[in-house]
Amino acid sequence: MKYRIEKDSFGEIQVPSDKYWGAQTQRSLECFDIGKEKFDSFFIECLSLIKLSCALANNQLCPERLTDEKLKYITLAYEQILKGKLDGNFPLSVWQTGSGTQTNMNVNEVFANYGNELAGKRLLHPNDDINMSQSSNDVFPSAMHVCTVLDIKSSLIPEIKRLINEFLILEERYKNTTKSGRTHLQDATPITFGQEVSGWRASLECDLAQIEESLKPLQKIALGGTAVGTGLNAPKYFDEIACEHLSRLCGTEFVPSENKFHSLSSKSELVFAHGALKALACDLMKIANDIRWLASGPRLGLGEITIPANEPGSSIMPGKVNPTQCEAITMIATQVMGNDATIGICASQGNFELNVFMPVMIYNLMQSVSLLSSGIYSFSENCVKGILANEKKMKENLDKSLMLVTALTPYIGYQRGAEIAKLAQKEGITLKEACLSLGYLTENEFDKYFRPEDMV
């Protein structure tokens, strides 16, 4: 491998000649060779978007320092990063300095070195030009907010809506299909399958509303606070103008935080946002478990629905089909719950003017968004879309339910209803037979009051 010599305040260091990063990136690579976790390319794109927005603001406010020529090459570098042409130049581990300084400098160095190559001269400096009016301490948390908002809007929200729509289709199709309800895993009074599905659908709608609400605080960003929140070395109005450019470039409004001291040291907005993701994960766990319980069998379980048979379920038992999509989405739910614990702990650990657990926070948050987005798509397309009700089995189970006796309690009272249910269970007879044998109603009265389809 060929190398070139790069310099920083620590001195000279060898850097691979085919890479655009500089000395600080190389030092981080050598000092933090930890794990395999890297920053998602989308996060790098969002951080780069902030760099361009800052350059535009600096050019507007301080054109003698951030000249039109410099802005031209910064813009060209950003365009290449966005196209993925500079992939492979952002190699740093998540497990680095807790402020994300090394990743910020990695992006600064790539912008500068690539821009200089295009310009054919040393025009751009990573600190003086690309990081002008900024600090890692305000850039990195700003990138976290921007990335979270854009990622959730572009990838997760459409998939939640897709799944809601599939449940709406099921809900309408089976709105008149009566079945037994269940509470405590025990027989309960009847519902329609459409009503049962509507509960799943409404849970997701609630989760969606909470997620959308959680994005609003994230649209306030730390940019302009620089090192400790005072805005040192940033010109007046820099934060406002940079946010205007950022909003225009990404099509989503971002505004400066009213209190930069809060924005640098607290990560409560991210905790709130991921809490909404955890709520979604909890509901997905419940829904997937409902589906695999209802599909259990096919002969020795509930068997009230069938789900698509996507692949063989066993390496030894021929013909076995398992609820694999349910298993995948429930595993995703547990990972999201674990990520939420990590994010909460990280947010509690800020000291004085800065939180220094930011890289692992955004790594976990982006993993949750990615897993939920792709997992919901797979669950929707490969499971929910193919659910069919076994209406014969639903009626068979309903007809055997002892909790249908609840329909009689307005006429004979709770105590007598309990006697009927217990006798039917003990003797293995129907509720009608038990009721008539106890003499609590005539046959005509029983047939008049006992109408399961009217209980939903």
Packing angle of the helix pair 358-382, 324-347 (nearest 10 deg): 160
Q: Which residue has the tokens 């905790």?
A: 271
Residue 284 belongs to some domain of the structure = yes
- Could you tell me if 45 and 173 lie in one domain? no
Secondary-structure percent of the chain, ordered helix, strand, coil, rounded to 5: 60, 10, 30
Give CA–CA dist 283/269, Å, rounded.
Answer: 22
Q: What is the CATH number of the domain that holds 35?
A: 1.10.275.10
Within this chain, do residues 381 and 418 fall inside the same structural domain, yes or no?
A: no
61 and 154, same structural domain?
Answer: no
Please report whether residue 232 resides in a domain.
no
CA dihedral 240, 247, 125, 36 (to 10 degrees): 120
Q: Catalytic positions, please?
A: 184, 314
Residue 141 included in any domain: no
Determine the pLDDT at residue 453.
87
Which amino acid makes up residue 284? L
If asked whether residues 111 and 162 sit together in one domain, one would say no
* Domain residue limits at 425: 401-454
Question: What is the dihedral sign for C-alpha 429, 431, 433, 434?
Answer: positive
- Give me 373's structure tokens: 């987005």
b/e map 167-195, b = 16+ CB within 10 Å: beebbeebeebbbbbbeeeebebbbbbbb
Whole-angstrom Cα distance, residue 169 to residue 389? 13
Domain count for the chain: 3
Q: How far is CA 160 from the centre of its chain?
A: 10
* pLDDT the model gives residue 324: 97
Distances (CA, A) of 131 to 100, 105, 139, 262: 14, 8, 9, 22
Residue 210 and residue 93 share a domain: no
d(CA 94, CA 69): 34
Question: Does residue 155 contact residue 373 with C-beta atoms inside 8 Å?
Answer: yes
- 288 touches 384 (CB < 8 A): no
Phi first, then psi, for residue 312 (nearest 5°) are -60, 140
Q: Is residue 7 part of a domain?
A: yes
CB 354 within 8 A of CB 228: yes
Same domain for 346 and 434, yes or no, is no
* Token pair 């306030």 in the structure block, residue: 220
Query: Is 151 found in the same domain as 8?
Result: no
Has residue 199 been placed in a domain?
Answer: yes
Do 346 and 442 belong to one domain?
Answer: no
CATH number at residue 438: 1.10.40.30
pLDDT score for 313: 86
Taking only the tens of pLDDT, the chain with its 456 residues reads 899 999 999 999 999 999 999 999 999 999 999 999 999 999 999 999 999 999 999 999 999 999 999 999 999 999 999 999 999 999 999 999 999 999 999 999 999 999 999 999 999 999 999 999 999 999 999 999 999 999 999 999 999 999 999 999 999 999 999 999 999 999 999 999 999 999 999 999 999 999 999 999 999 999 999 999 999 999 999 999 999 999 999 999 999 999 999 999 999 999 999 999 999 999 999 999 999 999 999 899 999 999 999 888 889 999 898 999 999 999 999 999 999 999 999 999 989 999 999 999 999 999 999 999 999 999 999 999 999 999 999 999 999 999 999 999 999 999 999 999 999 999 999 999 999 999 999 999 999 999 988 999
Alpha-carbon distance of 374 to 155, in angstroms, equals 8
Strand bridging mode 255-256 / 220-221: parallel
Tokens of 313: 């379920």
Q: Is the peptide bond before 298 cis (omega within 30 degrees of 0)?
A: yes
- Give pLDDT, residue 260: 98
Residue type, 119: A
Residue 235 in any domain: the answer is no
Which residue shows structure tokens 């982006």? Answer: 366
Rounded Cα gap, residues 233 and 231, in angstroms: 6
Q: DSSP string covering 225-287, please?
A: -TTTSS-TT--TTHHHHHHHHHHHHHTS--EE-S-HHHHHH--HHHHHHHHHHHHHHHHHHHH
CA atoms lying within 13 Å on the CB side of residue 293: 11
Question: What pLDDT, on a 0 to 100 scale, did the predictor assign at position 52?
Answer: 98
Token pair listed for 2: 């060929």
Same domain for 165 and 100:
no
- Tell me how far CA of residue 383 lies from CA of 223, 256, 308, 372, in angstroms: 43, 43, 6, 15
Residue 233 lies in a domain: no
Residues 85 and 202 in one domain: no
Residue 223 forms part of a structural domain: no
Contact yes or no for 339/367 (Cβ under 8 A)? yes
> Among the three residues 336, 367, 391, which one is the final residue of a domain in this structure?
391
Q: How far apart are CA 286 and CA 288, in angstroms?
A: 6
Please report the DSSP string for 119-177 in residue order: HTS----IIIIITTT--HHHHHHHHHHHHHHHHIIIIIHHHHHHHHHHHHHHHHHTTT-
Task: Give me the CATH number covering residue 288.
Answer: 1.20.200.10
Q: Indicate whether 88 and 58 sit together in one domain.
A: yes
**Domain termination residue (choose one: 355, 370, 391):** 391
Q: Do 434 and 332 share a structural domain? A: no
